[in-house]
Amino acid sequence: MIEGSCHCGAVTWQFDGKPDSATACNCTVCRRYGVLRAYDYDGEGIRHWGDTRAYVRGDRKIEFHFCPACGCVAFWRGIAPDAQGRHRIAVNLRLAEPDTVGAIPIRNFVGLGAFKDLPASGKCVLDYWA
């Protein structure tokens, strides 16, 4: 299990297990936030607590949730449920303690334009903090 929290501690999340990878995306939102994401479903593999505010981007498919007190981006959540009624969610691994996520490999994703995965670079989360 991995836990994360915003700087002031008002918003927290829990990721059950350990993700296979952390996604570094270069889309217009993620590159500005500087986040590293881990994905699952809201209320299943990922749970979150605390009052958040959300920014909804132009295509109205994803809500980016942040702490209204300290401003940390905690997670994004899909607005529309999938066929099973679940909402996709991705937590910001940068809100976790480095020793709990440091060894997770990075998956680079081209969200700006091509919308595809890049070949593995061999880097892990800790490389982004070094």
pLDDT tens string 51-65: 999 999 878 899 999
Which residues of the chain fall below pLDDT 50? none
The pLDDT score that the predictor gives to residue 116 is: 85
Domain positions in the chain are 2-129
Q: Partners of 117 in the beta sheet? A: 109
CA distances from 94 to 23, 60, 81, 116 (A): 11, 25, 26, 22
How many Cβ atoms from other residues are within 10 Å of residue 4's Cβ?
Answer: 23
pLDDT, residue 124, reads 95
Q: Of 3.50.30.30, 2.170.150.70, 2.40.30.10, 3.30.365.10, which CATH number belongs to 2-129? A: 2.170.150.70
Question: So what's the pLDDT on residue 72?
Answer: 98
pLDDT at position 23 is: 96
DSSP characters over 63-104: EEEE-TTT--EEEEEESS--TTS--EEEEEGGGB-HHHHTTS
Which pTM was predicted? Answer: 0.92
pLDDT at 130: 72
